[in-house]
Amino acid sequence: MDILDSLTERFVTLLSNFDIKYKRYFFDLVDFNDKLIGILGPRGVGKTTFLLQYLKSLDLPIGKKLYFSADSIETSDISLFEIADSFAKNDGKILVIDEIHKYPNFKKELKQIYDFLPLKIIFSGSSAITLENSKIDLSRRAVLYRVNGLSFREFLELKTGKKFKTFKIEEILNNHIDIAYEILQEIKPLSFLKEYLQKGFYPFYFENPNTYFNKLEETINVVIEADLPFVFGIDIKNTIKLKKLVKLICGSEPFEINITKLAQKMEIDRTTLYQYINYLNLGNVFNILKSKTRGDSIFVKPEKIYLHNTNLNYCYCENQKIGTIRETFIISQLVYFYDLEYPARGDLIVDKKYTFEIGGKNKDFSQIREIKENAYLILDDIEAGNKRKIPIWLLGFLY
């Protein structure tokens, strides 16, 4: 049996047993008319599910579409171009390659496939740095989409079976009272928010809630022990330091990060620490917030470092700090769609325009009172807001 026969047999078996109906937000965002499409995002957020849903939705004979993972043993000794060429010669039309960041020369081979073969190619990967850098090498060819974990809105849809609309940040800030009223007719969001903050970011929660944290830790371990060393050439013995860094950040308030002291605790120099922070940020384990007055160099001190989402806080931290959880939630809902910066006053600047101060229901405007325009309180423990006071749960309806 040649490689194409083997991959086709495996794909047919996989697709015939696949029956996930719920479609993530990005299914409607991707323009499938492009010839070369890349799907980037954290491990565990549903990229493979999306790829299989797309293939199943196509009104094409099964022999004209093919899915395989670039990290499988079967493809380890054959080039992507050879597989694609054989598929095209057998009248194939749609080629989907998962986990492409595990293939060393994928950028070169994707260009060859794009230039010389009459195929539509969709690829995905979990390693942001390799795929983000591919924008340069694949310019004028690939359209890249970055995807995130479940929004609070999507979590509610999966929990309740109800459907809810998404809103842009401007719509929420300007019309939050009417939007909240509409949603509150259907559901009481605050009764679900704690569950989402603890376990609702990754879709595999719905497979078995009882083993969720075990699966989540395994997912992050793959990122730290396999993905990051493969991409950045990190010595495997140093991955323990990356895990230690995650624990140290988890136990710190975002505004208390001291780079010098953190480097001492890690027993590494500051340069290496900055590199590790950058690796974990690109690996979707951290989100970092920098001041608008500073540059983009990785060696510029971040003003705040957060875990990528609140589920990681509950997985890795023994004690939760409610202020950190609130800020982490807001960052996780905004980070892929809006420009975020650390302000001189307040907690967050969104798209260089909106200043947010995040807190509990009794928080007042004292910390941002000198900001005359576009300053808002994002408040926990309220169902509906008033004027410039916005309920925090509503920021979970952005995607």
Instruction: Give the SS3 label for residue 259.
Output: helix
What's the confidence (pLDDT) of residue 105? 82
The vertex-193 CA angle with 190 and 196, nearest 5°, equals 165
| Domain span at 239 | 154-397
Among 106, 128, 146, the domain boundary falls at 146
Are residue 390 and residue 295 in the same domain, yes or no? yes
Q: Verify that 162 and 247 share a domain, yes or no.
A: yes
Residue finishing a domain among 116, 146, 176: 146
**Total domain count for the chain?**
2
The CATH number for 45's domain is: 3.40.50.300
* Cβ-based neighbour number of residue 29 at 10 Å: 10
Q: Give the pLDDT of residue 132.
A: 57
Answer yes or no: are the C-beta atoms of 379 and 363 closer than 8 Å: yes
CA-CA distance, 246 to 224, in Å (whole number)?
10
Cα distances (angstroms) measured from residue 355 to each of 235, 260, 296, 349, 362: 41, 29, 21, 5, 18
Residue among 390, 396, 260 at smallest CA distance from 334: 396
Residues 159 and 142 in one domain: no
Instruction: Give the SS3 label for residue 148.
Output: coil
332 and 262 in one domain?
Answer: yes
Domain boundary among 112, 146, 180: 146
All residue ranges of the chain with pLDDT < 70 are: 1, 127-137, 139, 292-297
139 plus 245 within the same structural domain: no
In this structure, the answer to whether residues 204 and 236 fall within a common structural domain is yes
Instruction: Say if residue 123 is in the same domain as residue 180.
Output: no
Q: CA nearest 304: which of 330, 350, 341?
A: 341
Exposure string of 363-384, with b = 16+ CB inside 10 Å and e = fewer, is eeeebbeebeeebbbbbbebeb
Say yes or no: 228 and 138 in one domain: no
Whole-number Cα distances in Å, 107 to 79, 88, 101, 114, 122: 12, 19, 9, 11, 13
Helix (H, G, I), strand (E, B) or coil at 389: strand
Nearest to 220 by CA among 202, 234, 200: 202
Amino acid symbol at 288: I
Tell me which DSSP letter residue 264 carries: H
Q: Which of 230, 350, 242 is nearest to 289 (CA)?
A: 350
Do 158 and 142 fall within a single domain?
A: no
CA 325, CA 331: separation in Å to the nearest integer? 10
pTM: 0.92
pLDDT of residue 44: 95
pLDDT of residue 335: 95
Domain co-membership, 142 together with 171: no
Q: How far is CA 115 from CA 6, 40, 109, 259, in A?
A: 26, 22, 10, 47
C-alpha closest to that of 278 among 63, 109, 128:
128
The verdict on 91 and 174 lying in the same domain is no
Phi-psi region of 233 (alpha: psi -120 to 50; beta: other; left: phi over 0): left
> Residue 129 has what pLDDT?
56
| 154-194: pLDDT as tens digits | 999 999 999 999 999 999 999 999 999 999 999 999 999 99
> Based on the domain organization, do 203 and 344 belong to the same domain?
yes
